[in-house]
Structure 1
Amino acid sequence: MKCLAVGLLASFISTACAQQQTDVTIKQLLSTTTTSGGQKIVLPQKDAELVASIFEIPRGANLPEHEHPYPRYGYILSGSLRVTDTETGQSKTYQSGDFVLESVGRWHTGANAGEEPTRLLVIDIVEKGHTNTVLK
């Protein structure tokens, strides 16, 4: 009888776990082999370090001209961000829910031209101890 009770309990728990697992959804945000500028993705060759940050960019704010020596991944949590390649003059505006893999070694600026603050999740993969933003 104990075996039956234990078996029923185990069955109930595994069914409940299976039901919980079916509620999980996955929305792919991006799948790419290149940056937003069309460059091949190249990771640091030694002592890689991952740095995750949340940037909060006020309405009307402009980011100074800069470049990234390593890959920078960004996800727009809220608001919008216009990124302009200062070498080509091309701009693209990213909205809430967009994921971007920024260009490496390309000078660009960013601007929040929207009506609300922009919150941006940034993930950098750099050589340990190095920064991923170089100002011009």
Structure 2
Amino acid sequence: MTNLLETAVNAGNFTTLIEAAKAAQIIDTLQSPNIFTLFAPTDEAFAQLPEGTLDELLQDTAKLKKIITYHIAFGDVRSDDLVQIQEAETLEGSVLAIESANGGFKVNDANILQTDILADNGVIHVIDAVLIPAMVAGH
């Protein structure tokens, strides 16, 4: 198997996320032996951000790092686990709300489109929106 970064690259629909992770200097985290769960917004999810937002974030690496690490939860949280939990602690320090609804899952306001893409150092769940931590959203 491959690590979270390689798995995301191979999937092909996370180009913007990978570019943002590189800019935020957290590529090493995604390649580390530590076990994480990555809630990965698709390129389409990034495209839904207001115009200019992504360019602005790529210039503001501190804010970008907060946003990207807000998509990374500790441990290997698979769909079986998502059913049993209401929240997940993130690398950013805040907590994501996890909700099971209509046979699927939501993380904050994003729908999980695909669960359980396994990697050597964790798991990826594909989401349809970019998650913004409250500390960043208020600015």
Query: What TM bracket, shorter-length normalisation?
Result: under 0.3
Larger C-alpha radius of gyration, 1 or 2?
Answer: 1
Name whichever structure is richer in helix by fraction.
Answer: 2
Instruction: State the TM-score, normalized to the length of structure 1.
Output: 0.27
Instruction: State the TM-score, normalized to the length of structure 2.
Output: 0.27
